[in-house]
Amino acid sequence: MSYHKVIYEKLFPYAPYLNERIGIEILVETNQSPAEALAEAKKIVDEFYLSNLPVQQFETHSEVADNKPVPVVQVQKVESEIEIAVREINECTDMLTLKSYWLRSKGNLVLREAYKLKEKQLQNG
């Protein structure tokens, strides 16, 4: 099989919902592999785009175009009100403190289960 030309195109974003397609056709020389020609085409397209950058209006403009890795953001888990209440129920050391959660536990299955378990623990030991 012989290759006569390679075509390389890339879609570059330049504004929200707006893109620009840049491409090139390269003739494959007799002593050149198609992969080399394609790599050369990619290099030409990328260099053209970088040298002719549109006016940058948005901060995330070139993140996709440059194929940069997406940064890993550490997210701190925030306890929900239910998780906080369950933790507080489990920290109760006497029945009087536990009884203050009785009314609140009536309206939530998770809190009711935590309340019942802690009540059994305090009654048994």
- Given a contact cutoff of 8 angstroms between Cβ atoms, the answer to whether 22 and 48 are in contact is yes
What integer pLDDT is reported at residue 86 of this predicted model? 92
What integer pLDDT is reported at residue 16 of this predicted model? 79
What integer pLDDT is reported at residue 40 of this predicted model? 92
**CA gap 88, 86 in Å, rounded:** 5
What integer pLDDT is reported at residue 55 of this predicted model? 57
What are the pLDDT tens digits along the chain (125 aa)? 677 889 999 998 877 788 889 999 999 988 888 899 999 999 999 888 888 876 554 454 444 555 666 667 777 777 788 888 999 999 999 999 999 988 888 888 999 999 999 999 999 87
What integer pLDDT is reported at residue 105 of this predicted model? 87
What integer pLDDT is reported at residue 54 of this predicted model? 60
What integer pLDDT is reported at residue 119 of this predicted model? 93
What integer pLDDT is reported at residue 66 of this predicted model? 56
**Helix/strand/coil (H, E, C) string of the chain?**
CCCCEEEEEEEEEEECCEEEEEEEEEECCCCCCHHHHHHHHHHHHHHHHHHCCCCCCCCCCCCCCCCCCCCCCCCCCCCCHHHHHHHHHHCCCCHHHHHCCHHHHHCCHHHHHHHHHHHHHHHHC
